[in-house]
Amino acid sequence: MSSDTIAALASGPPPAAVSVIRLSGPAALSSLAALTGGPAPPPRRLSLRTLRDPRDATPLDNALVVAFPGPGTASGEDLVELHLHGGVAVVSGVLAALTALPGVRLALPGEFTRRAFTNGRMDLAQVEGIADLVAAETAGQRRSAMALAGGALSRSADSWRSRCLDILAEAEAGLDFAEDEADVASRIDEAARDQLLTLVAELQALIADAARGQRLRNGLTITVTGPPNVGKSSLVNMLTNSDAAIVTPIAGTTRDPIEVPIDLDGVAAVLIDTAGLRDTEDAIEAEGIRRARLRAAAADLVIHLVDHWPAEHPDGGILVVNKIDLGDYAPSTDGSVHFVSATRGDGIRALRRWLADWAVSAIRPTEPPLLTHARHRDAFIDAAAALSDAAATDDFVLRAEGLRHAAHAFGRIAGRVGVDDVLDRIFSRFCIGK
């Protein structure tokens, strides 16, 4: 339990219809009493109260307030929410009055969630799921974030961990037979080896699926390439304007302007406009372009754009013939050649349809992959390696060591062991008030 009580704006920046300020910690309930002056509201019920600055009784707002006495709360501590009129002066006035109270200070980014983790209300994989949920831009990302936040991965990791410990216990029991009943010992040994190999196979299937999970989280990349003036920028604009492009100001998701986000039937993707990959003197822009070049080189799909037909079909990717309004071609998406006009819009809908079908078959967003984070994938790779070493050896001590190592790796998923060094990085992804 922390001794500080933390306060922060939990909703988006004012002005807004409603702004929510959260308070968590030992002084949360007394702080509410200090601002409302009256009797404590009934727990877990919204109550209308006039809030006043305790220093001079200035009225600050008429607000809906709710108190959640700990420990059965989101943070595991006493928790208060103030639902205010979402004005700049209202929010700043209430925060100033709160932080003037003894033991109350502004929260750091992710501090409410960090307390939930510390107080055992949530494990580390669930925390990562919540961060993903707040950042989710597409339905597919939301689905996989909800599975993670709901504890799907933690439950799997825990069950693998206990299978490791069961095999370890059996192997230890088998040692007692070693002297006089060698055949029993070797049968137990064989059974353990079979179980280990099954575990390794399951883990490998999961690890193989991890690339899909990371693409679902980070988005597919589609590069638009071709000679100057064939209409690359026009095509990117047309494809992204023709439907709600996902452009959000969430910290950490802002992308370079030549990388334009696009929602393909619930799958996040970015279109990289290689016309924007120019040389520049500006150091920051140059860095953005360097990164975009790297991403473009590793693209999941390349759109080769030309403005004449017939044209040679390049290896890999799809061929898009632009400016059909100048020639005599009908829009079509026959096979892997697509005919469009990026200025008039002919054929754009069909091309989007084709891209969405491609994205959905690559990602299968309705089957949330279990491994969406590099941290999780690395722990599973570590566990799989330790278990296949354990299966390969006849030496009991080495096998036991491999099993313990794998159990430890699984324990890292939920943050039960060995995660001190990653906590700061994980919680820094959150905004203040979360």
Task: Point out which residues bind ligand GDP (CB under 6 A).
Answer: 228-234, 275, 322-323, 325-326, 341-343
Asked if 269 contacts 221 with a C-beta cutoff of 8 angstroms, the reply is yes
How far apart are CB 233 and ligand GDP at their closest, in Å?
A: 4
How far apart are CB 418 and ligand GDP at their closest, in Å?
A: 49
How far apart are CB 324 and ligand GDP at their closest, in Å?
A: 7
Q: Between 189 and 273, name the residue whose CB sits nearer to ligand GDP.
A: 273
How far apart are CB 330 and ligand GDP at their closest, in Å?
A: 14
| Region for 156 from its dihedrals, namely left if φ exceeds 0, alpha if ψ lies in -120 to 50, beta otherwise | alpha
Of 235, 250, 378, 359, the C-alpha closest to 303 is 235
Q: Between 186 and 343, name the residue whose CB sits nearer to ligand GDP.
A: 343
Please tell me the distance from the alpha carbon of residue 417 to that of residue 379, in angstroms, as a whole number.
Answer: 12
Q: Between 122 and 342, name the residue whose CB sits nearer to ligand GDP.
A: 342
Q: Between 323 and 429, name the residue whose CB sits nearer to ligand GDP.
A: 323
Please, where are the H alpha helices in 78-230?
88-99, 111-118, 124-135, 139-149, 152-175, 182-208, 210-218
121 Cβ contact list (under 8 Å, min separation 6): 73, 74, 75, 76
Please, where are the H alpha helices in 150-181?
152-175
How far apart are CB 346 and ligand GDP at their closest, in Å?
A: 8
Q: Is 417 helix (H, G, I), strand (E, B) or coil?
A: coil
Please tell me the distance from the alpha carbon of residue 47 to that of residue 315, in angstroms, as a whole number.
Answer: 66
How far apart are CB 353 and ligand GDP at their closest, in Å?
A: 18
Asked if 277 contacts 296 with a C-beta cutoff of 8 angstroms, the reply is yes
How far apart are CB 276 and ligand GDP at their closest, in Å?
A: 8
Please, where are the H alpha helices in 370-419?
374-392, 396-413
Packing angle of the helix pair 28-36, 88-99 (nearest 10 deg): 120
Q: Between 96 and 326, name the residue whose CB sits nearer to ligand GDP.
A: 326
How far apart are CB 389 and ligand GDP at their closest, in Å?
A: 53
Q: Between 115 and 232, name the residue whose CB sits nearer to ligand GDP.
A: 232
Biggest distance spanned by C-alpha atoms of the chain: 90
Q: Between 226 and 402, name the residue whose CB sits nearer to ligand GDP.
A: 226
Q: Between 73 and 234, name the residue whose CB sits nearer to ligand GDP.
A: 234
In the chain, the N- to C-terminal Cα span, in Å, equals: 18
Instruction: Name 24's bridge partners.
Output: 6, 79
Residue nearest ligand GDP (C-beta atom): 231
